[in-house]
Amino acid sequence: MNEIIKMSATTLAEKIKNKELSSVEVTKAFIKRAKETDPKIKAYISITEEYAINQAEESDKKIASGAETGELEGVPIAIKDNILIENIKMTASSKILENYTAPYDATVIEKLKKAGAVFIGKTNLDEFAMGSSTENSAFFTTKNPWNTEHIPGGSSGGSASAVSAMTAPLALGTDTGGSIRQPASCCGIVGLKPTYGRVSRFGAVAFASSLDQIGPMSKTVEDSALLLNVIAGFDKKDSTSINVPVPDYLETIKQDIKGLKIGLPKEYFIDGLDSDVKKSIEKAIEIYKKAGAEFVEISLPLTDYAVAVYYIICCSEASANLARYDGVRYGFRAECDNLLDEYQKSRGHGFGPEVKRRIMLGTYALSAGYYDAYYGKAQKVRTLIKQDFENAFKKVDLILTPSAPTPAFKIGEKSSDPLQMYLSDIFTISCNLAAVPGMSIPCGFSEKGIPIGMQLLASNFDEQTMFKAAYSYQQATEWHKQFPNI
């Protein structure tokens, strides 16, 4: 079992296809691992054992019969619990959806089923994906497998923790302001936010519709490319999906990076940056230089405004998106004598404190007399932030930054101060505002043994260059080959 759970998804897919391993054998190994470790880390809201074994048996039958197989035939994957799988419970880690069963598949789930993936469980998250630590789940806090006193990051903390703890070789997360990249950094795995519109959002619970994006979480860069190959592409069911060709990301991943120009934005290398993070990033830069990459100092001058702009936009969109949870159509319903009380009590009981905080902030920003001063102005500054990136990518091929200003902090350390919590996404937020792709890859450990992540950013729909640079770095280092002792 130990050998199986340490294998990459790419290796597992190959061995299952070649009949060196069966999908049932692999699936059972990961489920056994999940049952052993999840009482300590609480990555999963539900482990869908029976469902997964049935899928694995189907994959094995297909392979035995010589039928055509998918890219992920028989390979297990964990799914963040704000993405719909037909007939499986979907909670978004909220009491308001605690007993909700998905009536249809999200587009990414349809694609994964076609590719032969096996769904082994739904992972925990900050309620409605609102948070940076997975402490805002209505059910429990997920822990970091490297040190269970620390957060796994958020909001995709369950998915990050599951991959890091070897309870799944792959996972899906969603990223609105860093919710894939920041937990990937905290847990020492690879996390990718694709270009906005590259992956369909149909069937993912909406938080902030102009920012949300589904993406891969994996042990290796190659696994991330493999998973993006499967889930990327135009979807007419998603009005924000963009109809552009999807390249084979694995085809160019091993190309040389000599002469690649990488920008270092001076606004991301600030005095408050944790010393362990700074050292790890400096070492990563040296590794890139040895591979022939060239570094250029660049400026993203509106970085200081990103957090304020992000929280106005995301809270405003959350206020609109979460209006549908009224206790009438679906979800938790309070028993009351009149409709107004029913609305108020259903939402009051069903939503947690962080979700309520964001709804109130957003409703205020959208209210008469304040719309232009807050939401209108935030959208204008967002356009300027996007222009900052467009100008930068005229000079460089990629941008390199830390994924987070500090390694994962202790559980409870920032929960009483929402502003400090919001600032933990300071390096990831601009990427969503500008709609560009971003990836976090492991690049070291703090003195206390907590993983540190490095972020690569590319121009719109240029995930290929990002994969190439990330793969080159991973081939020159061993960080992705280290596993937590849990």
Active-site residue list: 80, 155, 179
* Three-state helix/strand/coil letters over the chain: CHHHHHCCHHHHHHHHHCCCCCHHHHHHHHHHHHHHHHHHHCCEEEECHHHHHHHHHHHHHHHHHCCCCCCCCCCEEEEECCECCCCCECCCCCHHHCCCECCCCCHHHHHHHHCCCEEEEEECCCHHHCCCCCCCCCCCCCCECCECCECCCCCCHHHHHHHHCCCCCEEEEEECCCCCHHHHHHHCCEEEECCCCCECCCCECCCCCCCCEEEEEECCHHHHHHHHHHHECCCCCCCCCCCCCCCCCCCCCCCCCCCCEEEEEHHHCCCCCCHHHHHHHHHHHHHHHHCCCEEEEECCHHHHHHHHHHHHHHHHHHHHHHHHCCCCCCCCCCCCCCHHHHHHHHHHHHCCHHHHHHHHHHHHHHCCCCCHHHHHHHHHHHHHHHHHHHHHCCCCCEEEEECCCCCCCECCCCCCCHHHHHHHHCCCHHHHHHCCCEEEEEEEECCCCCEEEEEEEECCCCHHHHHHHHHHHHHCCCHHHCCCCC
